[in-house]
A and B are shown apart, each in its own frame.
Chain A
């Protein structure tokens, strides 16, 4: 079985500081992998390394067993590995619909020449893209807001917008960075249901999460980072009881074998 996404001894150094230290894990196709760890553990840096935003000091990243280490961010995304950001980065000057339509970029083809000449294929593509955007907005629970300015949305809806945008890209692997932060309980539940449904449609998920309910509920497997290193990996229940994980979150004293971690 080939992994959808595989990370091997991925390391990132900033001068003397090692932000990510020889992390290895894999996500099987249609798996939901949660990446958890205390603040500063290197989770977002890990995402940055995988998606080519930050160059790795050493180690490799494989997408469908194809080495993508060192590819620029846009190259990684155009292969089908799409990510969202810890604080949603939306295009503030554009409408909601326009934001999502950008997501369709990787599977559409009108280039400078075709656009410049105003060929009918460009307009036709615009209609396809517009429909796809509407569908993505419906999917995440933001129907009917296409023409609002993206910056007028409240924070939670901006996060949903960002997710809709990444869904519009028809990703094979979707990396979500704290997707439920800032969402109401209902919105979060809706999102989890959506993730589950998309997984059965073929999308692989790697999700950074702090919300343990979501992790326990939705994740197939959990990877735990602390100070840039992977300290545990496994099914959610097992990781929850792992003393090293408890120690990382709550300190050494709390890591008594019978203690249930709170979060």
Chain B
């Protein structure tokens, strides 16, 4: 023991943060997974990249908040919000997508951008710029899990999104309308020949995706709050997740969602929150570049 000795404190290990970041990442990731599924659903059935996907989440959260302010019980408000947003999705499809159906894909892409901007602006007008919140589904103290802290709502987020995903797969594989959607996604032209209407499938896809987005919005808002502009970031990240999963592949999109959530959490934790978005898009770019597409492979899919 020398004269200048100090008790040794080991520096907090980088690894100590890891479990918490992972938990946060998986929580948020489950939301991105829902958004990614919505993207893939619409893309496979119609070939359209729906940039308004995130706005569905925003709208359901804000509608639910309003319904709660009108003293509806949470369950009813939630169902009301989801129904309302599904309706919005259907209306969007009829009013904004159908008139341009069969147009160049870039035209439709720009239209969905326009729709997302419109929703954002309308939300600002109706609900203002302040954040809203929803109560936790089951109030209570947070859980301590595997070295990290998990609020109860996070369990709802992960669990509910998982249930929705499973339910969706069951729908696709075990019901006739679900099979019709899959057929349309596989080969719209052939589906038309057997009597499946691509326009109806498009409507169904948008409505379902709106529902997916609505659930995501409801389940995440108790944790992060809701504002009129939350849709853009959610939509973009859900989209990145879908692309990572290969855009046509629903299970991979789900995995992609969790991946994006975790990457974002790790980056925000270890670098800085601002870089989270940048890194996510960097991952997107890398994935895009690694997809080796020849001239023919990159050619447009056949749509009826």
Partner-B contacts on A (CB < 8 A):
48, 53-55, 73
In the complex, what distance in Å separates the CA atom of A115 from the CA atom of B296? 31
Contacts of B193 in A (CB 8 A): none
Minimal beta-carbon separation of A83 from chain B (angstroms)? 14
For residue B295, which residue of chain A has the nearest CB?
A53
Contacts of A54 in B (CB 8 A): 294-296
In the complex, what distance in Å separates the CA atom of A251 from the CA atom of B103? 43
Partner-A contacts on B (CB < 8 A):
294-296
Contacts of A53 in B (CB 8 A): 295-296
In the complex, what distance in Å separates the CA atom of A53 from the CA atom of B294? 9
Minimal beta-carbon separation of B155 from chain A (angstroms)? 43
In the complex, what distance in Å separates the CA atom of A73 from the CA atom of B294? 11
Contacts of B295 in A (CB 8 A): 53-54, 73
Chosen A-B contacts, 8 in total, with CB atoms closer than 8 Å, are A48-B296, A53-B295, A53-B296, A54-B294, A54-B295, A54-B296, A55-B294, A73-B295
Contacts of A48 in B (CB 8 A): 296
In the complex, what distance in Å separates the CA atom of A54 from the CA atom of B296? 7
Minimal beta-carbon separation of B134 from chain A (angstroms)? 49
For residue A54, which residue of chain B has the nearest CB?
B296
Interchain pairs with CB closer than 8 A, number: 8
In the complex, what distance in Å separates the CA atom of A48 from the CA atom of B295? 11
In the complex, what distance in Å separates the CA atom of A48 from the CA atom of B294? 12
New contact pairs (6) apart from A55-B294, A73-B295, CB-CB < 8 Å? A48-B296, A53-B295, A53-B296, A54-B294, A54-B295, A54-B296
Contacts of A73 in B (CB 8 A): 295
In the complex, what distance in Å separates the CA atom of A192 from the CA atom of B84? 63
In the complex, what distance in Å separates the CA atom of A177 from the CA atom of B106? 30
In the complex, what distance in Å separates the CA atom of A54 from the CA atom of B294? 8
Minimal beta-carbon separation of A92 from chain B (angstroms)? 10
In the complex, what distance in Å separates the CA atom of A54 from the CA atom of B293? 11
Minimal beta-carbon separation of B292 from chain A (angstroms)? 11
Minimal beta-carbon separation of A77 from chain B (angstroms)? 13
Minimal beta-carbon separation of A75 from chain B (angstroms)? 13
* Across the A-B interface, the 4 shortest Cβ-Cβ residue pairs: A53-B295, A54-B296, A53-B296, A55-B294
Minimal beta-carbon separation of B254 from chain A (angstroms)? 25
In the complex, what distance in Å separates the CA atom of A54 from the CA atom of B299? 12
In the complex, what distance in Å separates the CA atom of A242 from the CA atom of B296? 35
In the complex, what distance in Å separates the CA atom of A5 from the CA atom of B296? 23
Contacts of A55 in B (CB 8 A): 294
Minimal beta-carbon separation of B139 from chain A (angstroms)? 54
Contacts of B296 in A (CB 8 A): 48, 53-54
Minimal beta-carbon separation of B189 from chain A (angstroms)? 14
Contacts of B294 in A (CB 8 A): 54-55
Minimal beta-carbon separation of B166 from chain A (angstroms)? 31
Minimal beta-carbon separation of B249 from chain A (angstroms)? 17
For residue A73, which residue of chain B has the nearest CB?
B295
For residue A52, which residue of chain B has the nearest CB?
B295
Minimal beta-carbon separation of B58 from chain A (angstroms)? 37
In the complex, what distance in Å separates the CA atom of A84 from the CA atom of B295? 16
Minimal beta-carbon separation of B295 from chain A (angstroms)? 6
Minimal beta-carbon separation of A103 from chain B (angstroms)? 20
Minimal beta-carbon separation of B210 from chain A (angstroms)? 33
Minimal beta-carbon separation of B199 from chain A (angstroms)? 23
Minimal beta-carbon separation of B41 from chain A (angstroms)? 27
In the complex, what distance in Å separates the CA atom of A53 from the CA atom of B295? 7
Minimal beta-carbon separation of A158 from chain B (angstroms)? 19
Minimal beta-carbon separation of A104 from chain B (angstroms)? 23
For residue A53, which residue of chain B has the nearest CB?
B295
For residue A48, which residue of chain B has the nearest CB?
B296
In the complex, what distance in Å separates the CA atom of A55 from the CA atom of B295? 10
In the complex, what distance in Å separates the CA atom of A53 from the CA atom of B297? 11
For residue A72, which residue of chain B has the nearest CB?
B295
For residue A55, which residue of chain B has the nearest CB?
B294
In the complex, what distance in Å separates the CA atom of A73 from the CA atom of B299? 15
Minimal beta-carbon separation of A49 from chain B (angstroms)? 11
